[in-house]
Amino acid sequence: MKCNKSKPINVHLFRSWIRCRRKAWLEVYGDKQKKLWTAHSTLQLNHQIDCFHNLSQKSFGVGIQACEEGKNIAFGVRLKYPLIKNRIIKGNLPILKRTTGESIWGNFSYQPVLARQGKKTTREHKLILAMKGLLINNLQQYQVKKGLLCYKEDEIIKAEKIRLSENINKELLNSLLSLDKDIESKTPPPITSNRKKCMICSWRKDCDSIAIKAGSLSEVSGIGAKREILLNKVGINNIKELANINHNKLKEKLERYGTQHGAISKQIILQSQSQITNKAIRKNAEIELNKLKESRGLYIYDIESDPDIKHDFLHGFIRLQKNIKNEISLKKIKYTPLLNLEKNTESFLWKRIIKKLNLNKDYPIIHYGETEPISLLKLGLSQGANPDEIEALKKRFIDIHVLIREYWCLPVKNYGLKSIAEWIGFEWKQSNVDGARALLWWRQWKKSRKINKMYSRNLNSIFEYNRDDCIATFMIAKWLIDHE
């Protein structure tokens, strides 16, 4: 592996490094063919375009010339400067905003702008703003004191000023030096101990296979970064060691660090045994599935949402008029997608859902995870459903995720719908789809439907994905009954 001393550090690489040191290294040296496409970067880019579009004003221009002319907004400014020794730092700054100050161009200056997804301002946002700020300092010869962070709240674009203190600039320079050191190294930094980050990372396939080969504890469902450190402290360093230890012995060792740690010892040992042998292990012999197995039929329910604006845009249902133990042809299953175009059309939606669910009031409603009942009950309450109606609805829900966790240890890294359904052999019709991809399709379709029908296929893709989520939920429920 050749060291890449000549490669400049840019904003993209630095952002990757803040998220995971290994990710930045892989961006420089990794085999790009092993990278997976994820919808997250496109969602981020679209969000950025929306936010920046909102900032656009009459007086704007492009590049450094726009700054020289004192425009309110300067788009597409490209800067580079050796902020640290021997390494050029590059920044393609999509947008700068004019503010007060004394720059080389007159009695004004420019500040960096960043778009934030999510509710909180993080260290990543501050460091990226600081990096852009230092590059602008060098250009305008005036210190940037604040950066602008744009975000969406209930579909309204807002902006928050972030102070770029000496401390954050110091942290930035130290971070750039560490990044420089990492990409000079011939070997990649270790896989992050916080494996939650990996779920949306395009290098996850590569890292997962390395972690599995190494028998890393982070591969065991239920073991996060802190628990892994704790297990290392008591002498457990890989899945095999965990699978072979006596439960009481581990409990005793972990309890030295708090009783709550001892309590999970049995669970993580069983989980590691399941993963190492690739076999399902029953946790609870007294499985109680009468409601599910004796019902004449059932509803399967799955929601798709836009979390940024708290909008459940699709409520997908399948009504199965057969007992779950019967032979069921998945191809013939009738799926009903109920779309909720805008947040303020919910009274119509509620009526349609209730009409559907009242066709068979005795059927339970199965779902995977807590989102569906929470959303539906909230919708009912907001639409004036009476307490009896809400109570009756509550009693019909069966969370398949809770049941599977309660009764089984399965050889999977996590207990998400996709992992479990794929483990029992179910395949989604469309490859590489997830909630983020469905959200991207939805946002594209929503934008385009006002203009043309270019994206009409997107809606069908969302329905197909949601239908498969419903069927996957059903398949897991059926597996539970078949293995009772």
What 3-state DSSP class applies to 116? Answer: coil
Of the residues 12, 15, 197, 293, which one makes contact with ligand SF4 according to CB under 6 A: 197
Q: How far apart are CA 14 and CA 249, in angstroms?
A: 44
Toward ligand SF4, which CB reaches closer, 117 or 194?
A: 194
The strand pairing partners of 298, in sequence order, are 320
Give the position of tokens 């110091």.
170
- 51, 157 Cβ separation under 8 angstroms: yes
109 lies in the binding site for ligand SF4 (CB under 6 A) = no
Q: Which residues contact 288 (CB under 8 A, 6 or more apart)?
A: none
Among 207, 365, 410, 475, binds ligand SF4 (CB under 6 A): 207
Query: Considering the rule CB under 6 A, would residue 393 count as an interface residue with ligand SF4?
Result: no
Residue (207 or 475) nearer to ligand SF4, CB: 207
Decide if residue 413 touches ligand SF4 (CB under 6 A): no
Residue 251 interacting with ligand SF4 (CB under 6 A): no
248-276 exposure pattern, b = at least 16 Cβ within 10 A, e = fewer: eebbebbeeeeeebbebbeebbbbbbbbb
Of 20 and 376, nearer to ligand SF4 (C-beta) is: 20
Residue 90, Cβ density class (10 Å: 0-12 exposed, 13-18 middle, ≥19 buried):
middle
Distance of CA 56 to the CA centre of its chain: 29
**Pattern 1-40, ligand SF4, x by CB under 6 A:** -------------------x-xx--x--------------
| Phi, psi at 292, each rounded to 5° | -75, -45
Nearer to ligand SF4, 76 or 224 (CB): 224
Contact pattern for ligand SF4 over residues 155 through 194, marking x by CB under 6 A: ------------------------------------xx--
DSSP states along 80-108: EEEEETTEEEEEEEEEEEEESS-BTTBS-
SS3 293: helix
Please tell me what DSSP assigns to residue 325: T
Using CB under 6 A, pick the residue from 130, 201, 242, 318 that binds ligand SF4. Answer: 201
For ligand SF4, which is the closer residue by CB, 7 or 446?
7
CB of 211 to ligand SF4, least distance (A): 8
State which amino acid sits at residue 346.
Answer: E
Please give, one letter per residue, the 3-state secondary structure of 263-280: HCHHHHHHHHHHHHHCCC
- By CB under 6 A, the count of residues binding ligand SF4 is 12
From 70-78, 96-104, 142-150, 201-209, span contacting ligand SF4 (CB under 6 A): 201-209
Binding site for ligand SF4 (CB under 6 A): 20, 22-23, 26, 191-192, 197-198, 201, 203-204, 207
